[in-house]
């Protein structure tokens, strides 16, 4: 190895050149980066490797959802009717929206127990402003969402700046904001909303034109193909592994089957719900933020190691505050959908099993309680499981206490699977 001293004016005295690599040196490449170059055979090998390492992904959830649908359809032929599926789809949006925000918090390895109470506050704010004080509904809606984000930021401040445990902070927030909601609703405790107004139409408006459902499905499929194809070309230009065109086409076809099947089903009863369209748009946007932006990578980094993130120059405090603000914002959005569902804001908003269902939806969908693993699409899978169970049991006339026990059992099973998966990955040297 030759080391040559340099004496240029731009170099410090005694500076040396970096050692030249050996002629036969081979650059180490993560074998997972070669999967896409190996085609479908590579993906099959990667799938087997993940199964051995315990990286199950969303497979248990999808299989579980199929089993749930098969069981309830066998018990009651009305379960998979267009009307029931449509009702399930609209009902799940409120909980799903809240679960999206909770996923951001869970990615840090933390918890937010206040989302139920914050959802109740948002419904109360929009009702008091628009109905009691005659404020424009759009302004009332924006004020409610901004209020939720502010509440979340306050929780994040005490957690990130003061150092109080997130569990304690949000538990205190649950009690405080529940009382705040009761205070602003007044003695009557209930304010009815206009079912034909902006808030009311969040869950009652349907795209009744058949072409609208098919058009939205076609738009989603086309956007997916364009995005995947563009990303593949960009990766090819950069000289890094990318998906082959055959795989992109296959993924697009599979998405098209799901999208058009949903459009056909929706068109058999009322049409495509606005609530479902808004939920899917939120999932796409938040997934982009987490997976394609610097901010999203910072969130995942904090979930992996706070100290390593701090040494890497990440502003840990600001990311934490922003994550809780996002959770509060989506809790408020979910509260607006709940208010729309019952066309009122009342004292019972945000109470009962709502908090449990929100957290369960995020965890059942595949988000790890230990932080660092999850996607916002997990909210969709998780809330579909929970809502399907609730509707299926309701069709069978099962009492509410039994519904609680079954949902709790499903959540426990999911947590156990998550814990076992984490241990398996550690054994395999992947966590």
Question: Can you list the alpha helix ranges (DSSP code H) found in 343-399?
Answer: 354-364, 377-395
Angle, CA of 112, 114 and 119, to the nearest 5°: 120
List the beta strands (DSSP E) in 162-270: 190-192, 206-207
**pLDDT band for position 9 (cuts 50, 70, 90):** very low
- Output phi, psi for 21, to 5 deg: -65, 150
Is the whole model's pTM more than 0.75, yes or no? yes
Residue 335 has pLDDT above 80, yes or no: yes
In the structure encoding, which two tokens stand for residue 317, read together?
A: 């405090």
**Distance in angstroms (rounded) separating the CA atoms of residues 176 and 354:** 17
**Distance in angstroms (rounded) separating the CA atoms of residues 2 and 351:** 73
**Distance in angstroms (rounded) separating the CA atoms of residues 135 and 137:** 6
Place of tokens 């609703």: 185
Q: What is the mean pLDDT of residues 146-157?
A: 96
pLDDT at residue 373 in the model: 81
pLDDT in tens, 251-285: 899 999 999 999 999 999 889 999 999 999 999 99
Contact (Cβ atoms closer than 8 angstroms) between residue 224 and residue 384: no
| Best CA proximity match to 130, nearest among 140, 120, 122 | 140
What's the sign of the alpha-carbon dihedral 144, 388, 277, 364? positive
Burial (CB count <10 Å: 0-12, 13-18, 19+), residue 69: middle
pLDDT at residue 5 in the model: 45
| Best CA proximity match to 105, nearest among 330, 335, 407, 415 | 330
| Best CA proximity match to 360, nearest among 379, 336, 377 | 379
Beta strands 206-207; 272-273: pairing state: antiparallel
In the structure encoding, which two tokens stand for residue 262, read together?
A: 């949903």
What is the rounded radius of gyration, in angstroms, for the C-alpha atoms of the chain? 25
Least confident interval from 200-204, 242-246, 261-265, 345-349 = 242-246
pLDDT in tens, 107-137: 998 999 999 999 999 999 999 999 989 899 9
pLDDT in tens, 25-72: 444 444 545 555 555 566 666 666 665 655 566 777 888 888 889 999
Cα first-last separation, the chain:
38
Angle, CA of 357, 402 and 355, to the nearest 5°: 15
Q: At what angle do helices 245-267 and 210-237 cross, to 10 degrees?
A: 160
What is 261-319 written as a DSSP string?
HHHHHHHTTT-EEHHHHHHHHHHHHHHHHHHHSHHHHHHHHHHH-HHHHHHTT--HHHH
| Best CA proximity match to 334, nearest among 85, 142, 145, 112 | 145
pLDDT at residue 53 in the model: 56
Provide the Cα torsion 243, 244, 248, 254; round to 10°.
-100
């Amino acid at each position: 190895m030759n080391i040559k001293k340099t004496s240029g004016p731009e170099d410090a005295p005694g500076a040396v050149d970096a050692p030249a690599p050996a002629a036969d040196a081979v650059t180490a490449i993560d074998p997972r980066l070669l999967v896409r170059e190996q085609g479908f055979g590579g993906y099959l090998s990667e799938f087997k490797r993940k199964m051995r390492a315990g990286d199950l992904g969303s497979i248990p959830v999808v299989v579980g959802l199929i089993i749930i649908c098969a069981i309830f359809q066998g018990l009651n032929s009305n379960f998979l009717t267009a009307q029931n599926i449509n009702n399930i789809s609209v009902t799940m949006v409120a909980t799903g929206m809240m679960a999206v925000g909770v996923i951001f918090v869970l990615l840090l390895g933390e918890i937010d127990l206040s989302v139920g109470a914050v959802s109740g506050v948002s419904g109360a704010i929009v009702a008091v402003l628009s109905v009691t004080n005659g404020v424009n509904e759009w302004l009332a809606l924006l004020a409610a969402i901004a209020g939720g984000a502010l509440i979340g930021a306050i929780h994040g401040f005490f957690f990130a700046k003061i150092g109080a445990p997130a569990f304690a902070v949000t538990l205190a927030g649950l009690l405080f904001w529940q009382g705040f909601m009761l205070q602003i609703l007044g003695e009557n405790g209930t304010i009815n909303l206009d079912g034909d107004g902006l808030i009311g139409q969040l869950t009652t408006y349907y795209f009744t034109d058949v072409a609208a459902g098919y058009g939205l499905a076609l738009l989603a499929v086309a956007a997916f193909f364009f995005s995947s194809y563009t990303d593949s070309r960009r990766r090819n230009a950069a000289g890094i592994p990318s998906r082959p065109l055959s795989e992109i086409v296959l993924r697009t076809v599979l998405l098209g089957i799901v999208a058009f099947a949903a459009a056909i089903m929706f068109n058999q009863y009322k049409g495509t719900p606005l609530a479902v369209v808004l939920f899917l748009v939120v999932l796409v946007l938040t997934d982009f933020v987490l997976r394609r932006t610097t901010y999203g990578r910072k969130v995942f980094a904090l979930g992996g190691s706070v100290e390593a993130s701090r040494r890497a120059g990440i502003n840990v405090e600001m990311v934490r505050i922003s994550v809780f603000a996002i959770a509060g914002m989506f809790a408020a959005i979910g509260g607006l959908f709940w208010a729309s569902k019952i066309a009122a804001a009342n004292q019972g908003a945000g109470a009962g099993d709502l908090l449990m269902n929100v957290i369960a939806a995020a965890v059942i969908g595949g988000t790890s309680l230990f932080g660092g693993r999850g996607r916002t699409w997990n909210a969709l899978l998780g809330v579909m499981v929970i809502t399907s169970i609730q509707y299926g049991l309701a069709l069978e006339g099962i009492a509410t206490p039994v519904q609680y026990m079954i949902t709790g059992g499903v959540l426990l099973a999911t947590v156990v699977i998550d814990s076992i998966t984490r241990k398996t990955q550690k054994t395999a040297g992947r966590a």
